[in-house]
Structure 1
Amino acid sequence: MILDKIENYKLYWNLSERIAKGFEFIRNTDLAQIESGKYQIDNDAVFAIVQEYDTKEVEDCKLEGHIQHIDIQYIIKGVELMGVTTKKNQKMIFTDEEKDYSFFEGETSLIRVEEGMFTLFFPDDLHRPCVKAEQISKVKKVVVKVRI
């Protein structure tokens, strides 16, 4: 897992060509004006999902993981907490192989992700997004899915 400010994206640019395309989308798109929805970047190899939602209580947020994708989660507006942990002995409670996500039971450590910050979640990382910080608030986020 990586947590950083978007101005430092070039530190991670060379991890893969597809990750670079994801950062290129974030850097070259007017994200303040973009509508919620799915955007193709490189067919199914790299695509973005723009979301707007209210943050929730931690117990209302699901711990998730992916096998076929890396997530770049960039906060366009707002602030949220994300629970993070690595895969170990958590109990899987649901999986959808076609959509590449699984839900787990388990404890996490909370990190604060603010406007202008991103996370990179790899297949060994589990994450619990959308958790409220001090109070419930509106968040606009883009999740770039990078196929491995």
Structure 2
Amino acid sequence: MITGHIDHLAAAGLAQPLYDALVQALAQDPAHKQPDSYTLDGDRLFMNVMTLTTQPPHEKKAELHRAYIDIQLLLEGVETIHYGTSERARELLEWHQEDDYQLCHAIDNPQTLTLEPGMFAIFMPGEPHKPGCHETLRAPLKKVVIKLHREALFPVS
């Protein structure tokens, strides 16, 4: 997991494909877009603008992906993301290959990160994460999840 703030993007030390994905998504002004999926570069790069209400973490399942890197950028609200390192997902549910996700009931040794507007968290394939959480409040959020295909960082030879 990598985290940073869009106001200090150059200081985040991101690999060029991650940096470029964020810059390309921000150029589309996601804060002013309606919730939907937006193609940026075919299947290689797209973004999902969404609104949701935070929930206590015990009411949510964690997710993980295999093909895509998740760049979660908070636009409005405050959220906590519970996450773990690769291979820490427990009680895995069915794999959904077409939509590139798998849910799980638990994360072994979970960590937490609180995002405020402008902050982002990047989850690599296999890293379980449970976004949209708040321990005590049910509050609205707006965020964009930028999906970058793993081959942007890990080319298949």
Uncovered stretches (5+) of structure 1, i.e. residues with no partner: none
**Residue 6 in structure 1 maps to residue 39 in structure 2:** no
Q: Which moved more, 1:86-95 or 1:138-147?
A: 86-95
Q: Which residue of 2 is the match for residue 114 of structure 1?
A: 116
How far the C-alpha of 1:13 sits from its partner, in A, is: 7.0
Q: Secondary structure at the match of 2:31?
A: coil
Query: How has the CA–CA distance of structure 1 residues 93 and 8 changed in structure 2, closer, same or farther, with 3 Å as cutoff?
Result: same
TM-score calculated relative to the size of structure 2: 0.85
CA distance in structure 2 between the aligned counterparts of 1:132 and 1:5, rounded to whole angstroms? 20
Match in the other structure for 1:66? 65
If the length of structure 1 is used for normalisation, what is the TM-score? 0.89
Q: Over aligned residues, Cα RMSD in angstroms?
A: 1.8
Per-residue CA distance 1:8-33 (angstroms, 9 max, x = gap): 3224575243x234212333232332
**SS at structure 2 position matched to 1:23:** helix
State whether residues 5 and 117 of structure 1, in contact with CA within 8 Å, keep that contact through their aligned partners in structure 2: yes
Report the AA paired with residue 33 of structure 2. Answer: I
Look up the match of 2:131: 129
Match of 1:142 in 2: 144
Given that 1:112 and 1:133 are in contact with CA atoms closer than 8 Å, whether structure 2 keeps it comes out as: no
* 2:25–2:47 CA contact under 8 A, matched in 1: no
SS at match of 2:146: strand
In 2, Cα distance between the equivalents of 1:138 and 1:98? 28
Q: How many residues align?
A: 147
User: Could you tell me how far 1:45 is from its partner in structure 2?
Assistant: 0.4
